[in-house]
Structure 1
Amino acid sequence: MRNLLTISDLTIEEIGEILREAEYFSKGEIWRPKQQTFAVNMFFEPSTRTKSSFDIAEKKLGLEVIPFDVNFSSITKGESLYDTVKLFEVIGSNIAVIRHSQDRYYDSLVGKVRIPIINGGDGCGQHPTQCLLDLYTIQQEFGGFKDLQVAIIGDISHSRVARSNKDALSKLGANVVFSGPEEWFDKSFLNNGDYVNIDKAIEEADVVMLLRIQNERHQSTSNMSAKEYHQQYGLTLERESRMKRNSIIMHPAPVNRNVEIADELVEADRSRIFKQMENGVFVRMAVLKKILECGGL
């Protein structure tokens, strides 16, 4: 595995290998590269969970993390993404994690730079490591994916999490449905029957995966208030009471409490939201190890 750009890059076997490696790391497994190794995390959009967990994952693996702050970089002087990544390549970075607002930003890099790229999220495109940590969390809970009912609810059209999870979960045998405001759907990746009423989606799901409203990606502001959204499309206390007994709640975060999910449910017994964050470190350690080993490090 040279790069990780989309979840579709991975075979079922490779997904399984990464999840098994994440499990080893969760139990304290130690791995170190064969030589001094440098990583740079280039985040051109705000991030708390993804950036911090990559920082921790890299340091747990013994990598040296090169500081990068876009606001104090030559990007502010007009330097291109390619030239910035090429700089880190030539001064000695061995791997780059990049988040960018442009869909498929990596097309300008692959085949042109020698260092491996991990996609930390591209626009409304993909977020492969978030998907992998979601898969790991689901596997911990249910032991597998075949015939699981997964409901992804919220701002579908702007969500790289929705795209990545649909691709991977469907490949692994789960049944994925979507719900939320119809004007926020992207019919280009929905099949007939994928959209269901929110109450039906929640009542039938083994996994209820909620999504944040991504106002920063909307062309226009919704007239719907936070309270109205919560009542119409959020996981309210009343809706949660009708969930299946052993079903779980997930959310990629950041969470807007009392919008997509009731405040009381964020840390409820069936919530795995903070478990997802914990698992993110182990999954990202597994991805880094796999790519670095592929490069002989």
Structure 2
Amino acid sequence: MDQLLSMEALSIDEVLSVLEEADAYRNGKPIPRLDQYTIANLFFEPSTRTKLSFVKAEQMLGMNILPFDDRTSSVVKGESLYDTVKTLEAIGCDAVVIRHPENQYYQSLKGINIPVLNAGDGSGEHPTQSLLDLLTIFQEFKTFQGLNIVICGDIAHSRVAKSNAQILERLGANVYFSGPNMWLDETTNDKKIPLDRAVEIADVMMMLRIQFERHDDKNDSEREKNEYHHKFGLTVERAARMKKHAIIMHPAPVNRGVEMASELVEAPSSRIFKQIENGVLIRTALLHQTMAKKGVKHYENMV
């Protein structure tokens, strides 16, 4: 692949290729060197897992990382995203990783001649999170075909839900949605399922963070959080009714005691920190495959 903007743009073969390479690294495959390449991480929204796992992957590959801070860049003077990226390209940057609050921000980057890796666009998509989720599921079940995947929570504002739903269905999984009606739309109507039923049929319970920062009504009182947890959260009691082999996932950060009970974050069925580990592997494989388009052969110049 020459860039990554959305999961929809990836073929199944491309998806499986990234998963295969990432899993090979987990099993001890040497990581290639990309020390002839320079990259910049442009994060216009807060991030811990995505940003730092990209940085870790870039370091493992030996890439040169240009520091970028939107608070001290010409963005504060009104510079457009296009001009910022075009400047980095002119300086000699070989690729950029971007998280931006605007949906499909990359539509404004036509004319950029270096790879763009989407680290999240508003409430649009989050393709690298989707890939690490796929790797986590595949490591557990060795297939996607026929699995019951329940995506639960703030679906309307979740880029994770959008990326995962489309690719999981393409891979043969049965995708269901659960959560408050106000956060579901017409595309989920025939796949909506009550949470108390969902926990009984799910192979994967994929819980989502409530994205208060994207809500028009930002009222997030403790009373409302407790009510949400009781009605739509993965409580200890609900988790006890899950299948023995079922797993719990969450893109994090977790609002403990809201979308899921704090006790479940590190429960035996939880794969939340495995997802974070897989994020480094996925982003390493993705960067390698993207930069391979610029002339690096697979597994050349191994450490």
TM-score, normalised relative to structure 1: 0.96
Displacement after TM superposition at 1:82 (Å): 0.4
Letter in 1 for 2:50: T
Give CA-to-partner distance per residue, 1:209-240, whole Å, 9 cap, x none: 00000011111235761111100000000000
The 3-state SS of whatever aligns with 1:209 is strand
What do the CA deviations read for 1:46-91 (whole angstroms, capped 9, x no partner)? 0000000000001101111111111111101111000000111011
Map residues 1-297 of structure 1 onto 2, 5 A cutoff: 1-33=1-33, 36-110=36-110, 112-187=111-186, 189-190=187-188, 192-222=189-219, 225-297=224-296
Of 19-28 and 137-146, deviating more is 19-28
Aligned to 1:7, the other structure's residue is in SS state coil
| CA root-mean-square deviation | 1.2
Shift of 1:36: 1.1
User: What is the identity percentage for the equivalent residue pairs of Structure 1 and Structure 2?
Assistant: 53
1:35 deviation in Å?
5.8
String of CA shifts for 1:125-176, please: whole Å, max 9, x gaps: 0000000000000000000100000000000000000000001100000000
Distance in 1 separating the partners of 2:31 and 2:293:
14
Q: Deviations over 1:252-293 (max 9, x none)?
A: 000010001101100000000000000000000111011100
Equivalent pairs, count: 294
Secondary structure of the residue that 1:133 maps to in structure 2? helix
What is the rounded CA distance, in whole Å, between the counterparts of 1:265 and 1:109 in structure 2? 41
Secondary structure (helix, strand or coil) at the match of 1:156 reads coil
Q: Distance in 1 between matches of 2:238 and 2:172?
A: 26
**Runs of at least 4 residues off by over 4 Å:** none
Q: Contact 1:39–1:93 at 8 Å: present in 2 too? A: yes
* Cα distance in 2, alignment partners of residues 46 and 60 from structure 1: 23
- Runs of at least 5 residues in structure 2 that lack an aligned partner in the other structure: 297-303
**SS in structure 2 of the partner of residue 76 of structure 1:** helix
Measured in 2, the distance between the counterparts of 1:276 and 1:46 equals 19
TM-superposition CA deviations, 1:99-141 (whole Å, max 9, x none):
000000000113x111100000000100000000000000000
Give the whole-Å Cα distance in 2 for the aligned partners of 1:30 and 1:82: 36
- For 2:9 and 2:214, locate their aligned partners in 1 and report how far apart those are by CA, in whole Å: 25
The AA in structure 1 aligned to 2:9 is: D
Query: Normalising by the residue count of structure 2, what TM-score does the alignment of the two structures yield?
Result: 0.95
Task: Give the whole-Å Cα distance in 1 for the aligned partners of 2:106 and 2:247.
Answer: 34
In 2 relative to 1, CA 287–264 (structure 1 residues): closer, same or farther, beyond 3 Å?
A: same
CA 5–244 in structure 1, closer or farther in 2 if over 3 Å, else same: same
Distance in 2 between residues matched to 1:97 and 1:25, nearest whole Å: 21
Task: State the distance in 1 between where 2:97 and 2:49 align.
Answer: 14
> 1:216 is matched by which residue type in structure 2?
E
